[in-house]
């Protein structure tokens, strides 16, 4: 077995999401003062992801509760999701990364410049998030975590819309949908799948290892 197998959600990252959700449950009166205090204390002391998830298990599913997925993608409350935003990189650079809430429609402009969108810590709105790119002699790099369903349909002239990277299994039912499109001339849009904290080189090594293990498993299944 390899030490590059998919990594679990980091404990501290899960702890913060659980604490946020407990506070939201308190806000909608699913928890009283004592219940919130007791569960926050257990969240701070928890040493496993399972212990943290248990703090939410008996609470009702509601809009205020952002569900945890296999890679920790969060769902934002509908009233927190902007309708439309623009990210522009004109003869320069622009980026969105870390904890952020993508709008329902994100327009990305790269003219002789580059934009980077990292969705690994993003809180997605429910349903479809549209990313419309206009690239002229520039580039847009988009990083998504496993567990997000990506649809890409762009037009490129002397350029490319490229999707690379892999994850174990398809996106789960109800996963966020990231729909990427637009136009690229003498430039490109590059979509990569990476686990939280994983760099581009690490992802490529993991993918080579996954392909090798799949081939080995296939050979063993055929008996040679």
Count CA within 13 A, CB hemisphere, residue 219: 7
Residues 207 and 168: beta-carbon distance below 8 Å: no
Distance between first and last Cα of the chain: 19
Tens-level pLDDT at each residue, the chain (224 residues): 444 444 445 687 788 888 878 887 877 778 888 888 899 989 999 988 888 889 988 888 643 444 444 445 667 777 788 999 999 999 999 999 999 999 999 999 999 999 999 999 999 988 899 999 999 999 999 999 888 889 999 999 999 999 887 654 566 667 889 999 999 999 999 999 988 888 887 777 777 776 666 666 556 556 55
E strands, 145-202, where?
149-157, 160-164, 177-185, 188-193
Q: What are the residue ranges spanned by the domains of the chain? A: 11-68, 78-202
**Of 11, 4, 89, 87, residue with least CA distance to 43:** 11
Phi, psi of 16 (to 5 degrees): -65, -40
E strands, the chain, where?
74-75, 84-90, 93-96, 105-111, 114-118, 123-124, 128-136, 139-144, 149-157, 160-164, 177-185, 188-193
């Amino acid at each position: 077995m390899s030490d590059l197998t998919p990594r679990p959600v980091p404990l501290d990252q899960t702890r913060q999401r659980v604490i946020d959700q407990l506070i939201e449950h308190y806000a909608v009166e699913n928890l009283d003062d004592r219940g919130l205090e007791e569960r926050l204390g257990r969240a701070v002391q928890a040493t496993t992801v399972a212990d943290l998830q248990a703090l939410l298990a008996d609470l009702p599913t509601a809009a205020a509760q952002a569900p945890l997925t296999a890679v920790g993608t969060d769902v934002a409350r509908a009233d927190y999701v902007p309708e439309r935003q623009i990210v522009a990189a004109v003869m320069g650079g622009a980026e969105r990364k870390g904890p952020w809430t993508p709008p329902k429609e994100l327009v990305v402009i790269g003219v002789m410049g580059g934009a980077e969108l990292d969705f690994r810590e993003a809180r997605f709105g429910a349903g479809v998030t549209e990313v419309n790119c206009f690239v002229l002699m520039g580039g847009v790099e988009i990083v998504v975590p496993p567990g997000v369903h990506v649809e890409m349909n762009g037009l490129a002239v002397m350029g490319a819309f490229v999707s690379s990277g892999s994850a174990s299994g398809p996106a789960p039912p109800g996963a966020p949908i990231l729909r990427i499109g637009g136009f690229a001339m003498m430039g490109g849009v590059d979509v990569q799948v990476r686990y939280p904290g994983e760099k581009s080189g690490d992802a490529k090594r993991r993918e080579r290892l996954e392909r090798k293990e799949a081939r080995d498993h296939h050979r063993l299944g055929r008996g040679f």
